[in-house]
RNA sequence: GGCGCUGUACCCAAGCGGCUUAAGGGGAAGGUCUGCAAAACCUUUAUUCGUCGGUUCGAAUCCGACCGGCGCCUCCA
């Protein structure tokens, strides 16, 4: 299979270091606020990548870090007059809750920065001993001029960056591009002891330290949003490769932004919706379908209209799944097995997903599948149960297990109380008789009233069925 | 200024040299079924892929120029 590698700007054959093991690291949240629906795009797409790799037989170990020491957390802590630990704890919890609601499978491990001070200090010491880091008054900086290939990920070179001049010529750094490894403590901030005095770690060092500790010095996949390419990931490479003298990451994957009216959704611009709020209005499946319908790397606009379209799309899948379920749970089975090549759809699905996780085509294929299957079901009435089971199996493996755009077990909402089904069936029977007497006014009244209550009746040749909204 | 992404139907979006005289979703219109709905299915909705040139037997796909939109270069998925 192929993966687009930001480092080489090409799709490359995916060959992990120790197959079938795959190590995957993703830059997680800084826990100072709820994450927004743009952040959700990255987490969901990484989730799909991970699930697909598992489907392909890889044993994926996924690590997502939690940044719980950072300027913004400190600021919020000061603003709200609460301890930084409390802020971080609260929003980490919210992070996990939101991911769960988005049906994102938990990572294997969520390391916290504040629990890895020793590891970070070790890396900084290593860099210092190699003459790559320098200490000025308890602030330790990384000397980018000491790392030959600095800029290789983001396609920048040092001269241009310096000429760019948007970088603050700050403090006593040798070079404006040098970045903080260790920051000297200011009054009232969270801080730790270190060989350079009391202070706290810079942002980039945590990912180098934690990915190394939990996944090893070389990892297969490192993922994150586009905005992390520079400087964050560039700096991670500089730190890890200078310290450990081996290739840090084989495949760099980056996710495109979610835009609002063609502008990047971001906290600083204030044009964001939290994932939480969006989930109030749209199902996790709809949100996932919305993201899966476009390639992960490019920009994508967010709007109510587009989410609504995706929600409709999921309903189409659900209607199909319910139709299958109905046939499967029937007592009787026909004896006709249609000539319908489910394997071919499977092969196509795998083929497009193998090509750098082409989820839009995978989704298109699922809709093709549904249309073809619906047609066959409508045209034949003596179909074997095994056929429905095979259709269901395809839907489960592709749409549920890999993409997470439908969840078959959740289709049947539980009755509100145990008599409910019986009562509805009673009404359906009464209505059947009314229809026979051509008393359509009353029949429609029953249907409309039930609809208002969230019960949808559907007539067909074989009788009336109902479902809940 | 540097680097990168992007421009395909009413909206979203895939395709990235011949399998495509351009997938899929949403919307709209017509039809089948139905007492009517709903669901489902069928048909229609881009002779054309920002513009202009070039390469090629062949281009939405490659090259060049131009015109738009966006991002990164500063914390941000």
CATH architecture of A2-281: 3-Layer(aba) Sandwich (3.40)
- Is it the case that residue A164 has pLDDT exceeding 50? no
What distance in Å separates the CA atoms of residue A64 and residue A26, rounded to the nearest whole number? 5
Nucleotides of B under 7 A from a protein CB: 1-6, 11-15, 23-27, 33-42, 69-77
What percentage of chain A exceeds 90 in pLDDT? 73
- Is it the case that residue A419 has pLDDT exceeding 80? no
* A35 neighbors A22 (Cβ within 8 angstroms): no
A316 touches strand B (CB under 7 A): yes
A271 touches strand B (CB under 7 A): no
| Interatomic separation, CA of residue A205 and C1' of nucleotide B77, rounded (Å) | 18
Partnered with residue A141 across adjacent β-strands are: A134, A180
CATH class belonging to A311-410? mainly alpha
* A36 neighbors A302 (Cβ within 8 angstroms): no
**Class of residue A397 by CB neighbours under 10 A (exposed 0-12, middle 13-18, buried 19+):** middle
- Write the pLDDT tens digit of every residue in A246-303: 999 999 999 999 999 888 898 878 889 999 999 999 999 999 999 999 999 989 999 9
Residue A244's pLDDT is 95
What distance in Å separates the CA atoms of residue A413 and residue A50, rounded to the nearest whole number? 29
| Interatomic separation, CA of residue A446 and C1' of nucleotide B46, rounded (Å) | 45
Packing angle of the helix pair A304-329, A284-292 (nearest 10 deg): 110
Residue A416's pLDDT is 58
If you average pLDDT over every residue of chain A, what do you get?
Answer: 91
Sorted by where each begins, the domain ranges of chain A are 2-281, 311-410, 420-468
State whether ipTM is beyond 0.90: yes
Residue A418's pLDDT is 67
| Interatomic separation, CA of residue A445 and C1' of nucleotide B40, rounded (Å) | 24
- Write the pLDDT tens digit of every residue in A169-216: 455 688 888 999 999 998 888 899 999 999 999 999 999 999 999 999
Cis peptide before A300 (omega within 30 of 0): no
């Amino acid at each position: 299979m192929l993966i687009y590698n930001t480092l080489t700007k090409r799709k490359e054959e995916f060959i992990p270091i120790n197959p079938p093991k795959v190590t995957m690291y993703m830059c997680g949240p800084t826990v100072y606020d709820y994450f927004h629906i743009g952040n959700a795009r990255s987490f969901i797409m990484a989730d799909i990548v991970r699930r697909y790799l598992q489907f392909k037989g890889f044993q994926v170990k996924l690590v997502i870090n939690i940044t719980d020491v950072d300027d913004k957390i400190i600021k919020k802590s000061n603003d709200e007059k609460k301890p930084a630990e409390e802020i971080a704890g609260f929003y980490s919890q919210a992070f996990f809750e939101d991911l769960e609601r988005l049906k994102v499978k938990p990572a294997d491990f969520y390391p916290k920065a504040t629990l890895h001070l020793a590891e970070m200090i070790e890396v900084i010491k290593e860099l210092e001993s190699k003459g790559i880091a320098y200490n000025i008054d308890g602030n330790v900086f990384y000397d980018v001029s000491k790392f030959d290939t600095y800029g290789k990920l983001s396609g920048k070179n040092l001269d241009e960056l310096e000429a760019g001049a948007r970088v603050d010529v700050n403090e006593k750094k040798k070079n404006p591009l040098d970045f903080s490894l260790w920051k000297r403590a200011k009054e009232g901030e969270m801080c730790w002891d270190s060989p350079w005095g009391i202070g706290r770690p810079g942002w980039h060092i945590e990912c180098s330290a934690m990915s190394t500790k939990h996944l090893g010095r070389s990892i297969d996949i490192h993922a994150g949003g586009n905005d992390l390419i520079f400087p964050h990931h560039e700096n991670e490479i500089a730190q890890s490769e200078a310290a450990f003298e081996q290739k840090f990451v084989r495949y760099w994957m980056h996710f495109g932004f979610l835009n609002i009216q063609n502008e990047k959704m971001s906290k600083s611009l204030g044009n964001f919706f939290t994932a939480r709020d969006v989930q109030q209005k749209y199902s996790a499946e709809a949100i996932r379908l919305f993201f899966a319908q476009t390639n992960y790397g490019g920009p994508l606009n967010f709007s109510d209209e587009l989410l609504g379209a995706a929600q409709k799309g999921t309903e189409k899948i659900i209607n199909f799944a319910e139709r299958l379920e109905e046939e499967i749970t029937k007592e009787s089975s026909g004896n006709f097995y249609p000539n319908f090549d489910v394997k071919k759809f499977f092969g196509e699905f795998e083929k497009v997903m193998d090509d750098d996780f082409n989820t839009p085509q995978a989704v298109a294929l699922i809709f093709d599948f549904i249309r073809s299957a619906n047609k066959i079901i409508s045209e034949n009435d003596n179909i074997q149960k095994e056929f429905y089971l095979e259709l269901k199996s395809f839907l489960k493996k592709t749409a549920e297990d890999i993409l997470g755009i439908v969840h078959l077990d959740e289709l049947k909402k539980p009755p509100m109380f145990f008599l409910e089904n019986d009562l509805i069936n009673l009404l359906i029977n009464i209505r059947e008789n009314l229809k026979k007497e051509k008393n359509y006014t009353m029949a429609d009244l029953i249907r409309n009233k039930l609809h208002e209550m969230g019960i949808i009746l559907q007539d067909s040749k074989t009788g009336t069925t109902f479902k809940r909204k």
